[in-house]
């Protein structure tokens, strides 16, 4: 069965001066905008000249702070749906002086979002495509140059320190394939079984070549192992994880953007089986308060003095991956031990000449 990463989830940091209690008021503000090329026309109704944008509660009629328990830990959150409209250009909307009906020139968009607390700061996890993200930030988060809403303050959409991954993290978690991680992952009995690594995206040293590989057991691919063996920069990994109550097929980028396969990522122990995306608040809060921070905490502990992922161990792992490549290429091309010895002898000669 092929993997279809159809659900994109991002994490944004809200202004540090804001608390969760501030957001019912902020979300209730007026986000409507005028269609600029129709401003001033008296022959058109106000409805036809406006773009209707608003936040709406996911459930009920008011923005309420709710609490959800995940793995014995309580988290406070507000679940919402953002609705906004985008117009087509004036050249397409006005034909021979006649304005097209609104339904032909204004398109409705929605975005799933949950605001939650973590370490005394409010974050927002959004289910939003890469093409939508800029518009959502400008329109619904009050960051637009012409329509800025000061109540939002500064919204950080990238380079969040606590949600930034580097190559060393990816090398570490790739090495954990087939292992069950149960140490300090943020909650009692919260375990992560790394069943498989399904995608590896790397950049060459000078970031000239982009090498992407996907598929089951991608760590058996020569092109993947070659890049890992020479310590290429990794910016994304794909994983099949088994948690205590969920199975996840997803890709995780260096800024903690997640691409999930909603059909294969399911809640376990439920009848009938349901996708994790059907309960977006639970999915988002679990991923960004337990799973990713827990993996990062485990990684940082293992890289400290006495941990299992020292620089020496990392070098040994890369050497093992490189040897797998050599072994496979030698087998496929009938390379003998004598052939390899000649290569190493020549290499040593060149080094001595230098």
Instruction: Classify residue 204: in a domain, yes or no.
Output: yes
Do 61 and 198 sit in the same domain of this protein?
A: no
Say if CB 257 and CB 251 are below 8 A apart.
Answer: no
Instruction: Classify residue 3: in a domain, yes or no.
Output: no
Burial track 119-145 (b if 16+ CB lie within 10 A, e otherwise): eebbbbbbbbeeebbebbbbbbbbbbe
Lowest pLDDT segment from 13-22, 213-222, 251-260, 296-305:
213-222
186 pLDDT exceeds 70? Answer: no
Do 178 and 211 sit in the same domain of this protein?
A: yes
349 pLDDT exceeds 80? Answer: no
Do 50 and 116 sit in the same domain of this protein?
A: yes
Number of independent structural domains in the chain: 3
Most confident stretch, 15-29, 296-310, 315-329: 15-29
Do 22 and 55 sit in the same domain of this protein?
A: yes
pLDDT digits (tens, 9 = 90+) for 85-94: 999 999 999 9
Mean pLDDT on 219-226: 85
Instruction: Classify residue 32: in a domain, yes or no.
Output: yes
Which residue is listed with tokens 């019912």? 24
Say if CB 228 and CB 203 are below 8 A apart.
Answer: no
Instruction: Classify residue 2: in a domain, yes or no.
Output: no
Say if CB 53 and CB 31 are below 8 A apart.
Answer: yes
Mean pLDDT on 45-58: 92
119 versus 123: the higher-pLDDT residue is: 123
12 versus 349: the higher-pLDDT residue is: 12
pLDDT digits (tens, 9 = 90+) for 272-311: 889 999 999 999 999 999 999 989 988 988 888 777 888 8
Separation of alpha carbons 180 and 196, rounded Å: 11
Do 278 and 189 sit in the same domain of this protein?
A: yes
Which domain range does residue 149 map to? 9-160
Domain endpoint, select from 160, 176, 211: 160
For CA atoms 232, 233, 235, 240, give the dihedral sign. Answer: positive
């Amino acid at each position: 069965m092929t993997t279809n990463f159809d659900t994109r989830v991002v994490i944004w940091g809200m202004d540090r001066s804001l608390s969760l209690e501030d957001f019912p008021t902020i979300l209730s503000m007026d986000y409507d905008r005028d269609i600029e090329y129709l401003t001033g026309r008296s022959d058109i109704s106000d409805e036809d000249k406006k773009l209707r944008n608003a936040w709406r509660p996911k459930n009920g009629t008011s923005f309420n702070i709710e609490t959800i328990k995940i793995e014995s830990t309580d988290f406070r959150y507000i679940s919402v749906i953002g609705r906004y409209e985008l117009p087509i250009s004036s050249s397409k909307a006005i034909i021979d002086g006649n304005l097209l009906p609104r339904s032909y020139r204004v398109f409705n968009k929605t975005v799933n979002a949950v605001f939650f607390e973590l370490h005394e700061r409010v974050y927002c996890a959004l289910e939003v495509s890469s093409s939508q993200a800029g518009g959502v930030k400008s329109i619904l988060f009050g960051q637009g140059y012409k329509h800025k809403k000061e109540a939002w303050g500064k919204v950080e959409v990238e380079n969040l320190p606590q949600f930034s991954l580097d190559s060393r993290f990816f090398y570490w978690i790739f090495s954990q394939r087939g292992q069950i991680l149960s140490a300090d992952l943020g909650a009692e009995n919260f375990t992560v079984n790394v069943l498989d690594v399904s995608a590896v995206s790397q950049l060459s040293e000078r970031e000239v070549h982009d090498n992407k590989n996907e598929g089951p057991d991608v760590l058996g691919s020569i092109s993947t192992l070659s890049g890992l063996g020479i310590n290429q920069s990794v910016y994304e990994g794909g994983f099949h994880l088994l948690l205590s109550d969920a199975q996840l097929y997803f890709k995780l980028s260096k800024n903690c953007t997640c691409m999930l396969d909603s059909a294969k990522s399911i809640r376990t122990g439920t009848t009938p089986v349901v996708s994790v995306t059907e309960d977006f608040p639970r999915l988002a809060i679990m991923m960004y308060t337990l799973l990713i921070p827990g993996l990062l905490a485990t990684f940082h502990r293992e890289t400290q003095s006495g941990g299992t992922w020292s620089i020496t161990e990392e070098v040994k792992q890369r050497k093992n991956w490189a040897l797998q490549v050599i072994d496979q290429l030698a087998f496929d091309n009938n390379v003998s031990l004598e052939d390899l010895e000649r290569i190493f002898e020549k290499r040593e000669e060149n080094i001595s000449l230098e």
